[in-house]
Amino acid sequence: MSQSRSPALSPQPSALGGSAAADSALGSTPLRIATRQSALALWQARHVESRLRSAHPGLAIELIPLSTRGDLILDRPLAEIGGKGLFLKELEVAMLEGRADIAVHSLKDVPMELDAEFALGAVLERADAADAFVSNRFGRIDELPRQARVGTSSLRRQAQLRALRPDLIVLDLRGNVGTRLNKLDAGDYDAIILACAGLDRLGEASRIRSRLEPPKWLPAAAQGAIAIEYRSGDERVASLLKPLDDADTTRCVTAERALTRHLQGSCQVPIAAYCIDIESGLHLAGLVGDASSGRLLRAEGSGAADAPDALGREVAELLLAQGAGAMLGVAGSRAEDQGLRTKG
Protein backbone atom coordinates (compact mmCIF):
# COMPACT_ATOMS: atom_id res chain seq x y z
CA MET A 1 0.00 0.00 0.00
CA SER A 2 1.34 3.38 -0.88
CA GLN A 3 1.75 5.95 1.88
CA SER A 4 1.60 8.92 -0.52
CA ARG A 5 -1.37 11.26 -0.66
CA SER A 6 -4.14 10.22 -3.00
CA PRO A 7 -4.50 12.79 -5.80
CA ALA A 8 -8.17 12.02 -6.48
CA LEU A 9 -10.40 14.80 -5.17
CA SER A 10 -13.64 13.86 -6.94
CA PRO A 11 -15.45 10.60 -7.66
CA GLN A 12 -13.93 8.77 -10.60
CA PRO A 13 -15.67 6.00 -12.57
CA SER A 14 -14.36 2.49 -12.11
CA ALA A 15 -13.20 0.39 -15.04
CA LEU A 16 -14.67 -2.67 -13.33
CA GLY A 17 -17.60 -4.34 -15.02
CA GLY A 18 -20.57 -5.96 -13.33
CA SER A 19 -20.90 -9.72 -13.00
CA ALA A 20 -23.66 -11.69 -14.68
CA ALA A 21 -25.27 -12.24 -11.26
CA ALA A 22 -25.19 -8.52 -10.57
CA ASP A 23 -26.54 -7.66 -14.01
CA SER A 24 -29.46 -10.00 -13.50
CA ALA A 25 -30.13 -8.35 -10.14
CA LEU A 26 -30.49 -4.85 -11.58
CA GLY A 27 -34.19 -4.92 -12.36
CA SER A 28 -36.07 -1.64 -12.09
CA THR A 29 -35.91 -1.28 -8.30
CA PRO A 30 -33.57 1.56 -7.27
CA LEU A 31 -30.65 0.76 -5.01
CA ARG A 32 -31.12 3.11 -2.07
CA ILE A 33 -27.99 4.45 -0.33
CA ALA A 34 -28.32 5.67 3.25
CA THR A 35 -25.85 8.40 4.13
CA ARG A 36 -25.23 11.05 6.72
CA GLN A 37 -25.88 14.62 5.59
CA SER A 38 -22.45 16.14 6.13
CA ALA A 39 -20.55 17.34 3.06
CA LEU A 40 -17.94 14.59 3.48
CA ALA A 41 -20.52 11.83 3.95
CA LEU A 42 -22.41 13.01 0.86
CA TRP A 43 -19.16 13.08 -1.15
CA GLN A 44 -18.49 9.49 -0.14
CA ALA A 45 -22.03 8.38 -0.96
CA ARG A 46 -21.85 10.06 -4.38
CA HIS A 47 -18.46 8.46 -4.97
CA VAL A 48 -20.00 5.04 -4.28
CA GLU A 49 -22.93 5.95 -6.53
CA SER A 50 -20.50 6.84 -9.33
CA ARG A 51 -18.60 3.58 -8.91
CA LEU A 52 -21.81 1.56 -8.91
CA ARG A 53 -23.10 3.26 -12.06
CA SER A 54 -19.80 2.56 -13.78
CA ALA A 55 -19.81 -1.10 -12.72
CA HIS A 56 -23.50 -1.57 -13.51
CA PRO A 57 -24.73 0.70 -16.34
CA GLY A 58 -28.46 1.16 -16.09
CA LEU A 59 -28.64 0.64 -12.34
CA ALA A 60 -31.12 3.03 -10.72
CA ILE A 61 -29.73 4.60 -7.53
CA GLU A 62 -31.29 6.86 -4.92
CA LEU A 63 -29.54 8.65 -2.04
CA ILE A 64 -31.28 8.70 1.35
CA PRO A 65 -29.66 11.45 3.49
CA LEU A 66 -30.22 11.01 7.25
CA SER A 67 -29.21 12.75 10.44
CA THR A 68 -27.56 10.63 13.12
CA ARG A 69 -27.31 11.19 16.87
CA GLY A 70 -23.58 11.63 16.48
CA ASP A 71 -24.20 14.54 14.09
CA LEU A 72 -26.75 16.22 16.34
CA ILE A 73 -24.94 16.16 19.71
CA LEU A 74 -21.97 18.49 19.31
CA ASP A 75 -21.57 19.97 22.79
CA ARG A 76 -19.88 16.92 24.35
CA PRO A 77 -16.80 14.84 23.46
CA LEU A 78 -17.60 11.88 21.22
CA ALA A 79 -16.38 9.38 23.83
CA GLU A 80 -18.96 10.68 26.31
CA ILE A 81 -22.01 10.12 24.10
CA GLY A 82 -21.37 6.58 22.91
CA GLY A 83 -18.60 6.84 20.36
CA LYS A 84 -18.37 6.49 16.63
CA GLY A 85 -21.07 3.84 16.51
CA LEU A 86 -23.58 6.68 16.91
CA PHE A 87 -22.88 7.66 13.30
CA LEU A 88 -24.26 4.30 12.11
CA LYS A 89 -27.40 3.60 14.13
CA GLU A 90 -29.97 5.61 12.15
CA LEU A 91 -28.54 4.33 8.85
CA GLU A 92 -28.84 0.72 10.07
CA VAL A 93 -32.40 1.32 11.22
CA ALA A 94 -33.25 2.61 7.74
CA MET A 95 -31.92 -0.63 6.25
CA LEU A 96 -33.82 -2.80 8.73
CA GLU A 97 -37.04 -0.91 8.03
CA GLY A 98 -36.61 -1.30 4.28
CA ARG A 99 -36.04 2.40 3.60
CA ALA A 100 -32.46 1.82 2.38
CA ASP A 101 -30.48 -1.07 0.89
CA ILE A 102 -26.93 -0.05 1.76
CA ALA A 103 -25.13 2.49 3.93
CA VAL A 104 -21.84 4.22 3.14
CA HIS A 105 -19.39 4.84 5.97
CA SER A 106 -15.86 5.93 6.73
CA LEU A 107 -14.59 2.52 7.78
CA LYS A 108 -12.72 4.00 10.74
CA ASP A 109 -16.15 4.89 12.20
CA VAL A 110 -17.53 1.35 11.88
CA PRO A 111 -17.54 -0.74 15.10
CA MET A 112 -15.21 -3.74 15.13
CA GLU A 113 -18.20 -6.07 15.47
CA LEU A 114 -21.38 -5.50 13.47
CA ASP A 115 -24.77 -6.75 14.60
CA ALA A 116 -25.71 -10.07 12.99
CA GLU A 117 -28.23 -8.37 10.70
CA PHE A 118 -25.48 -6.51 8.85
CA ALA A 119 -22.29 -7.19 6.88
CA LEU A 120 -19.69 -5.22 4.95
CA GLY A 121 -20.13 -5.77 1.22
CA ALA A 122 -17.14 -3.82 -0.07
CA VAL A 123 -14.16 -1.75 1.03
CA LEU A 124 -13.04 0.73 -1.60
CA GLU A 125 -9.44 1.56 -2.43
CA ARG A 126 -7.92 3.49 0.42
CA ALA A 127 -7.10 7.18 0.10
CA ASP A 128 -4.40 8.95 2.14
CA ALA A 129 -4.42 7.42 5.63
CA ALA A 130 -2.35 10.16 7.27
CA ASP A 131 -3.54 12.85 9.66
CA ALA A 132 -3.19 16.52 8.72
CA PHE A 133 -1.74 19.36 10.78
CA VAL A 134 -3.81 22.41 9.90
CA SER A 135 -2.94 25.92 11.05
CA ASN A 136 -3.08 29.45 9.72
CA ARG A 137 0.16 30.49 11.39
CA PHE A 138 2.35 27.44 11.92
CA GLY A 139 3.69 24.81 9.55
CA ARG A 140 4.40 21.90 11.91
CA ILE A 141 3.69 20.71 15.43
CA ASP A 142 7.24 21.55 16.52
CA GLU A 143 6.71 25.18 15.44
CA LEU A 144 3.83 25.71 17.86
CA PRO A 145 4.64 27.93 20.87
CA ARG A 146 4.26 26.64 24.41
CA GLN A 147 0.64 26.49 25.58
CA ALA A 148 -0.65 26.66 22.02
CA ARG A 149 -4.28 25.51 21.66
CA VAL A 150 -4.73 22.45 19.46
CA GLY A 151 -8.16 21.07 18.64
CA THR A 152 -9.07 17.43 18.06
CA SER A 153 -11.92 15.20 19.21
CA SER A 154 -9.85 12.02 18.77
CA LEU A 155 -8.31 10.46 21.89
CA ARG A 156 -5.79 8.73 19.60
CA ARG A 157 -4.63 12.09 18.26
CA GLN A 158 -4.66 13.62 21.75
CA ALA A 159 -2.38 10.86 23.06
CA GLN A 160 0.13 11.27 20.25
CA LEU A 161 0.05 15.07 20.54
CA ARG A 162 0.77 14.92 24.26
CA ALA A 163 3.58 12.42 23.67
CA LEU A 164 5.23 14.85 21.26
CA ARG A 165 4.38 18.11 23.03
CA PRO A 166 3.18 17.77 26.63
CA ASP A 167 3.17 21.57 26.94
CA LEU A 168 0.33 22.04 24.45
CA ILE A 169 -3.27 22.74 25.48
CA VAL A 170 -5.29 20.03 23.74
CA LEU A 171 -8.97 20.95 23.38
CA ASP A 172 -11.96 18.97 22.15
CA LEU A 173 -13.20 19.82 18.65
CA ARG A 174 -16.50 18.52 17.28
CA GLY A 175 -18.47 19.20 14.10
CA ASN A 176 -18.04 18.45 10.42
CA VAL A 177 -14.89 19.40 8.52
CA GLY A 178 -16.22 22.81 7.49
CA THR A 179 -17.25 23.65 11.05
CA ARG A 180 -13.84 22.68 12.38
CA LEU A 181 -12.03 24.80 9.81
CA ASN A 182 -14.31 27.74 10.61
CA LYS A 183 -13.47 27.44 14.31
CA LEU A 184 -9.78 27.50 13.46
CA ASP A 185 -10.24 30.55 11.24
CA ALA A 186 -12.22 32.30 14.00
CA GLY A 187 -9.18 32.02 16.27
CA ASP A 188 -10.57 29.41 18.67
CA TYR A 189 -7.49 27.25 18.08
CA ASP A 190 -3.88 27.76 17.00
CA ALA A 191 -4.00 24.48 15.08
CA ILE A 192 -6.29 21.51 14.54
CA ILE A 193 -5.74 17.89 13.50
CA LEU A 194 -7.93 16.39 10.78
CA ALA A 195 -7.72 13.45 8.35
CA CYS A 196 -5.92 14.13 5.07
CA ALA A 197 -8.45 12.02 3.16
CA GLY A 198 -11.39 14.13 4.26
CA LEU A 199 -9.67 17.38 3.31
CA ASP A 200 -8.64 15.93 -0.04
CA ARG A 201 -12.15 14.75 -0.82
CA LEU A 202 -13.67 18.14 -0.01
CA GLY A 203 -11.18 20.10 -2.09
CA GLU A 204 -9.46 21.49 1.01
CA ALA A 205 -6.04 19.87 0.55
CA SER A 206 -4.43 23.33 0.47
CA ARG A 207 -5.25 23.66 4.19
CA ILE A 208 -2.81 20.83 5.02
CA ARG A 209 0.37 22.42 6.39
CA SER A 210 2.08 19.11 7.12
CA ARG A 211 1.20 15.42 7.12
CA LEU A 212 1.38 13.36 10.30
CA GLU A 213 2.29 9.95 8.98
CA PRO A 214 3.76 6.56 9.88
CA PRO A 215 5.94 5.37 11.42
CA LYS A 216 6.20 8.28 13.88
CA TRP A 217 2.47 9.05 13.91
CA LEU A 218 -0.14 6.33 13.37
CA PRO A 219 -3.70 6.73 12.05
CA ALA A 220 -6.88 5.10 13.24
CA ALA A 221 -7.53 1.59 11.98
CA ALA A 222 -8.93 1.77 8.43
CA GLN A 223 -8.56 5.56 8.20
CA GLY A 224 -8.97 6.73 4.59
CA ALA A 225 -11.09 3.73 3.53
CA ILE A 226 -14.77 3.84 2.56
CA ALA A 227 -16.94 0.83 3.46
CA ILE A 228 -20.38 -0.22 2.25
CA GLU A 229 -22.69 -1.95 4.74
CA TYR A 230 -25.73 -3.99 3.72
CA ARG A 231 -28.29 -6.39 5.20
CA SER A 232 -26.83 -9.85 5.75
CA GLY A 233 -28.21 -12.38 3.31
CA ASP A 234 -29.25 -9.88 0.64
CA GLU A 235 -27.58 -11.64 -2.27
CA ARG A 236 -28.85 -9.15 -4.85
CA VAL A 237 -27.08 -6.29 -3.10
CA ALA A 238 -23.98 -8.36 -2.33
CA SER A 239 -23.51 -9.13 -6.03
CA LEU A 240 -23.83 -5.44 -6.91
CA LEU A 241 -21.22 -4.42 -4.35
CA LYS A 242 -18.63 -7.09 -5.09
CA PRO A 243 -16.92 -5.30 -8.04
CA LEU A 244 -16.20 -2.27 -5.83
CA ASP A 245 -14.15 -4.19 -3.27
CA ASP A 246 -10.39 -3.50 -3.34
CA ALA A 247 -8.49 -6.63 -2.26
CA ASP A 248 -5.29 -4.84 -1.21
CA THR A 249 -7.13 -2.35 0.97
CA THR A 250 -9.34 -5.06 2.44
CA ARG A 251 -6.31 -7.12 3.51
CA CYS A 252 -4.66 -4.18 5.23
CA VAL A 253 -7.71 -2.85 7.04
CA THR A 254 -8.62 -6.39 8.12
CA ALA A 255 -5.28 -6.62 9.94
CA GLU A 256 -5.76 -3.19 11.50
CA ARG A 257 -9.29 -3.95 12.68
CA ALA A 258 -8.22 -7.37 13.98
CA LEU A 259 -5.62 -5.67 16.18
CA THR A 260 -8.22 -3.26 17.54
CA ARG A 261 -10.77 -6.04 18.03
CA HIS A 262 -8.28 -8.24 19.91
CA LEU A 263 -7.55 -5.35 22.26
CA GLN A 264 -11.30 -4.87 22.65
CA GLY A 265 -10.71 -1.31 21.60
CA SER A 266 -13.33 1.38 21.46
CA CYS A 267 -13.56 5.13 21.11
CA GLN A 268 -12.73 5.47 24.83
CA VAL A 269 -9.23 4.08 24.29
CA PRO A 270 -6.58 5.59 22.00
CA ILE A 271 -5.59 2.77 19.64
CA ALA A 272 -3.86 3.26 16.28
CA ALA A 273 -2.99 0.75 13.58
CA TYR A 274 -1.52 0.94 10.10
CA CYS A 275 -0.79 -1.93 7.73
CA ILE A 276 1.01 -1.87 4.38
CA ASP A 277 1.82 -4.40 1.69
CA ILE A 278 5.46 -5.48 1.61
CA GLU A 279 7.28 -7.92 -0.66
CA SER A 280 6.89 -10.80 1.78
CA GLY A 281 3.28 -10.07 2.75
CA LEU A 282 1.95 -7.49 5.21
CA HIS A 283 3.56 -5.24 7.81
CA LEU A 284 1.44 -3.90 10.68
CA ALA A 285 2.31 -1.21 13.22
CA GLY A 286 0.13 -0.71 16.30
CA LEU A 287 -0.10 1.74 19.16
CA VAL A 288 -1.99 2.07 22.44
CA GLY A 289 -1.91 5.40 24.23
CA ASP A 290 -3.12 7.38 27.19
CA ALA A 291 -4.76 10.64 26.14
CA SER A 292 -4.17 12.21 29.57
CA SER A 293 -0.47 11.48 30.02
CA GLY A 294 0.75 10.96 26.46
CA ARG A 295 2.20 7.56 27.35
CA LEU A 296 2.45 5.39 24.22
CA LEU A 297 3.07 1.69 23.70
CA ARG A 298 4.17 0.54 20.24
CA ALA A 299 4.57 -2.79 18.49
CA GLU A 300 4.87 -4.04 14.94
CA GLY A 301 5.11 -7.26 13.01
CA SER A 302 4.95 -8.88 9.59
CA GLY A 303 2.90 -11.78 8.30
CA ALA A 304 1.47 -13.57 5.30
CA ALA A 305 -0.81 -11.62 2.98
CA ASP A 306 -3.51 -14.29 3.27
CA ALA A 307 -3.59 -14.14 7.09
CA PRO A 308 -4.31 -10.52 8.07
CA ASP A 309 -6.43 -11.50 11.08
CA ALA A 310 -3.58 -13.53 12.52
CA LEU A 311 -1.16 -10.63 12.05
CA GLY A 312 -3.53 -8.27 13.83
CA ARG A 313 -3.83 -10.61 16.78
CA GLU A 314 -0.06 -11.12 16.89
CA VAL A 315 0.73 -7.41 17.10
CA ALA A 316 -2.06 -6.93 19.64
CA GLU A 317 -0.45 -9.61 21.80
CA LEU A 318 2.88 -7.78 21.60
CA LEU A 319 1.15 -4.66 22.91
CA LEU A 320 -0.51 -6.63 25.70
CA ALA A 321 2.87 -8.05 26.66
CA GLN A 322 4.11 -4.47 27.19
CA GLY A 323 1.25 -3.67 29.55
CA ALA A 324 -1.45 -2.47 27.19
CA GLY A 325 -4.01 -4.52 29.12
CA ALA A 326 -3.55 -2.39 32.23
CA MET A 327 -3.79 0.79 30.18
CA LEU A 328 -6.93 -0.43 28.44
CA GLY A 329 -8.42 -1.49 31.76
CA VAL A 330 -7.88 1.94 33.27
CA ALA A 331 -9.50 3.60 30.28
CA GLY A 332 -12.39 1.15 30.39
CA SER A 333 -12.96 1.81 34.08
CA ARG A 334 -13.10 5.55 33.43
CA ALA A 335 -15.71 4.97 30.76
CA GLU A 336 -17.83 2.75 33.02
CA ASP A 337 -17.69 5.31 35.81
CA GLN A 338 -19.26 7.81 33.44
CA GLY A 339 -21.91 5.32 32.32
CA LEU A 340 -20.63 5.23 28.77
CA ARG A 341 -21.21 2.78 25.96
CA THR A 342 -18.09 1.11 24.65
CA LYS A 343 -19.28 0.26 21.17
CA GLY A 344 -17.52 2.40 18.57
Active site residues: 109
In whole angstroms, what is the distance from residue 86 CA to residue 73 CA? 10
Q: What is the 3-state secondary structure (H, E, C) of 85-152?
A: HHHCHHHHHHHHCCCCCEEEEEHHHCCCCCCCCEEEEEECCCCCCCEEEECCCCCCHHHCCCCCEEEC
Q: CA geometry: angle at 63 spanning 105 and 55, to 5°?
A: 80
Q: How many CB atoms lie within 10 A of CB 179?
A: 13
**Nearest to 122, CA basis, from 183, 47, 179, 191:** 47
Hey, which bits of the chain come out as E strands? 31-36, 61-66, 102-106, 118-123, 131-134, 149-151, 169-171, 191-195, 210-212, 226-231, 271-278, 281-289, 296-303
Instruction: Determine which helix (DSSP H) or strand (DSSP E) holds 42, and give its type and residue range.
Output: helix 39-55
Residue 76, Cα to own-chain centre: how many angstroms? 20
Beta strand pairing call for 281-289 and 271-278: antiparallel
Is 95:103 a contact under the CB 8 Å cutoff? yes
Name the DSSP letter for residue 8. -
Residue partners of 304: CB distance under 8 A and separation at least 6 = 281, 282, 310, 311
